[in-house]
Structure 1
Amino acid sequence: MDSAQPRLPLSVDSGKHDPGSWDPALLASLGLILLSRPADAEQDELLRRAADGLRQQLAGNIVTYVVNRNLNVSNHCIKHCSFCAFRRDAGEPGAYWLSEADLQQKAAEALEAGATELCIQGGLNPAATVAGSQLAYAERLLGLLQQAAPGLHLHAFSPQELLYFAQHDGLPLDQVLDRLQAAGLGSVPGTAAEVLSEPVRQVLCPEKLTAREWVAVMLQVHQHGLPATSTLMAGHIESPADVVAHLLTLVAVQRYAWQHQRQGFTEFVLLPFVGASAPAALRSRVQRDQPDPAAMLRLTAQARLLLGPWFRFHQPSWVKLTLPGATEALRWGCNDLGGTLMEEHITTMAGASGGTRQSPQALEAAAQRLGRPVRRRTTLYGAVA
């Protein structure tokens, strides 16, 4: 190995690094070195070991998962993101909007199956109103789900959805969050982030909220005491600099939450781009229908190192990577296998090959094949009796 070759930047070490202080310029420089290096088998193994070691320090050896159900309420949407194969206009082939009875039935089935969480997201459906109010519809939806499945944690409404409710109804976001919390909202998915880089967003989702708006919404979510996940959609047109900017933005938001004694982000989830059924323009530009497994494993490890002590829990997407791919990611810095989902439409409609549901037994067996202990968790990483 050339001694002049930059070594892996392993300064983000939970045993030596103070989470209360950081040097963003240094981390940005280290991150660019890390993400810009070419693939190399020997270096990749060093990277994997470093990320796996940091995972062990921060999260231990136990692999966790949650029994949950996805409820993608509707794919009617006013936006036209260049990567999205899910959205439809009302009346278009493939368009759907689940009825209240269907939603309650699905929630009750989830409770019966042992779920502890409902994950609720959908398109920005302009017709989803009660007396002309998007927020009132969202409140009603949470109430109906609680009636059907009392006690389940409601993990719902991306920052894009929250901002849409506020803008549609002409309300401050603080009021939207207050009312949704009162209606039963327990935590927020950190989706709609895609890549927090405006040049990339202008290609992927020019109609969507900006990176600045995503951060602003998430700051208010945390201020209200609502935990949230964080995500990165990668493997399309982003550059190493875009990824570094995204990850360090997440760290900055997390540090701010911790400085104010808030939980902030519960976890980081890497979401590899799936393009098999994506709109043609982006698909031809990316020239890949399914994720590049080796590249996504490298990024899994790189994210673990760059997010460092500020993100204890890291999760792959078995829907996008397949369960064997997600299991391998447990060797590259991840410690959690996500949820059972029970159903999934957004990624599946994009052409993902990982399936739409996993049983607890399948997730447990995946961890056990690596010789790792496994346990079921709650949304917020508590133990399930």
Structure 2
Amino acid sequence: MGATEVTLQGGIHPNFDGDYYIDVTRAVKEAVPDMHVHGFTALEVTEGARRLGEDLHTYLRRLQDAGLASLPGTAAEILDDSIRAVLCPDKISTDEWLDCHAAAHEIGLRSNITIMFGSIEHTDSWARHMLRTRALQKVTGGFTEFVGLPFVHMASPIYLQKAARRGPTFRETLLMHAVARIVYRGVIDNIQLSWVKIGEAGAAQMLRAGCNDLGGTLMDENISRSAGAAHGQGMTKDRFEALVAPLGRGLAQRTTTYELVDSLRG
């Protein structure tokens, strides 16, 4: 079907030790040697290392030796511990998230920055998130892109408990991506939108407001869908072309780490 990347991430199973993630990575590479393995959140890496009694660098090198090629930025949510204490109290702290990605960059693994916004936080938390990650990028240069992830409220437990709002407004979503383009100027070139969360019409607007990356075509996406998003589980090249054509923008296929594969249009 043309897949170039498999993304591996999930919750923390009480019976899995850190070797489980290594075994899964190795199994993917044995089955599909050319597949790029983009895997494991900072939470999974930190917990996997802890359960084995290893430091982050040692554990990440073992994952890398098994075939891991890059890390997702998920589990970041909002990198503001006052918000994390309410939003995700069972996840790692801001410093632990940053330490994990710093360690990954130091051994040659690339990763990205995500932010889930529009639940319980305010704009000052967005600023802290961007400034902390920009500071790390200036040191390591290991982040490939920034990805804005609007909070999908419909089936979210914190919203159903009436403790969060109904996600960001469209204006806030537009501003998130536009401000990110300004904040990361000179240190991160790529600002990615999440079409699965905002839809094709919203994606076209984001491309006018600082974004240069539509993300993946995806296959059987289920994270946003499980939370209540209804923009589909996959996208075709033809639909991407139809989306960018009115904008007069070029379209290209890239690798996970932003090497050009094919110029598709323009």
Question: Which letter maps to 1:124?
Answer: I
- How far residue 281 of structure 1 moved from its aligned partner, in angstroms, is 5.4
Structure 1: runs of 5 or more not aligned = 1-112, 129-133, 259-263
Q: What is residue 201 of structure 1 aligned with on the other side? A: 84
Q: Distance in 2 between matches of 1:232 and 1:283?
A: 22
CA deviation map 1:66-93 (0-9, x unaligned):
xxxxxxxxxxxxxxxxxxxxxxxxxxxx
Q: What is residue 13 of structure 1 aligned with on the other side? A: none
Question: Which letter maps to 1:333?
Answer: G
Preserved CA contact (<8 Å) 1:116 1:153: yes
1:306 aligns to 2:183 (yes or no): yes
Q: Distance in 2 between matches of 1:338 and 1:368?
A: 17
Q: What is residue 246 of structure 1 aligned with on the other side? A: 129
- How far residue 159 of structure 1 moved from its aligned partner, in angstroms, is 0.6
Q: What is residue 101 of structure 2 aligned with on the other side? A: 218
Q: What is residue 160 of structure 1 aligned with on the other side? A: 43
1:272 aligns to 2:155 (yes or no): no
CA deviation map 1:312-357 (0-9, x unaligned):
0000111111122122100000000000110222221111122211
CA deviation map 1:240-287 (0-9, x unaligned):
2111111000110000114xxxxx100000010011001155652333
In structure 2, do the counterparts of structure 1 residues 347 and 281 end up closer, same or farther at CA, with 3 Å as the change threshold? Answer: closer
Q: Distance in 1 between matches of 2:33 and 2:131?
A: 38
Preserved CA contact (<8 Å) 1:276 1:283: no
Aligned residue for 2:148, secondary structure, equals strand
> Which of 128, 140, 150 is the equivalent residue of 2:23?
140
Preserved CA contact (<8 Å) 2:80 2:125: yes
Segments ≥4 residues shifted beyond 4 Å:
280-283
Q: TM-score, normalised by structure 1?
A: 0.66
Preserved CA contact (<8 Å) 2:22 2:63: yes
1:349 aligns to 2:226 (yes or no): yes
- How far residue 127 of structure 1 moved from its aligned partner, in angstroms, is 3.0
Q: Distance in 1 between matches of 2:19 and 2:138?
A: 33
Question: Which letter maps to 1:313?
Answer: N
Question: Which letter maps to 2:208?
Answer: R
In structure 2, do the counterparts of structure 1 residues 375 and 332 end up closer, same or farther at CA, with 3 Å as the change threshold? Answer: same
1:123 aligns to 2:1 (yes or no): no
1:368 aligns to 2:245 (yes or no): yes
Aligned residue for 1:339, secondary structure, equals coil
Identity over aligned residues, as a percent? 40
Aligned residue for 1:270, secondary structure, equals strand
Preserved CA contact (<8 Å) 2:130 2:183: yes
Q: Distance in 1 between matches of 2:81 and 2:210?
A: 28
Aligned residue for 2:51, secondary structure, equals helix
- Between 168-177 and 178-187, report the one with greater CA deviation: 168-177
The equivalences for 1:1-385 within 5 A come to 113-128=1-16, 134-258=17-141, 264-280=142-158, 284-288=162-166, 291-385=168-262
Preserved CA contact (<8 Å) 1:376 1:383: yes
Question: Which letter maps to 2:153?
Answer: G
Count residues with an aligned counterpart: 262
Structure 2: runs of 5 or more not aligned = none
Question: Which letter maps to 1:195?
Answer: I
- Between 265-274 and 228-237, report the one with greater CA deviation: 228-237
* Superposed CA RMSD: 1.5
Q: Between Structure 1 and Structure 2, whose CA radius of gyration is higher?
A: 1
Q: Distance in 1 between matches of 2:41 and 2:109?
A: 12
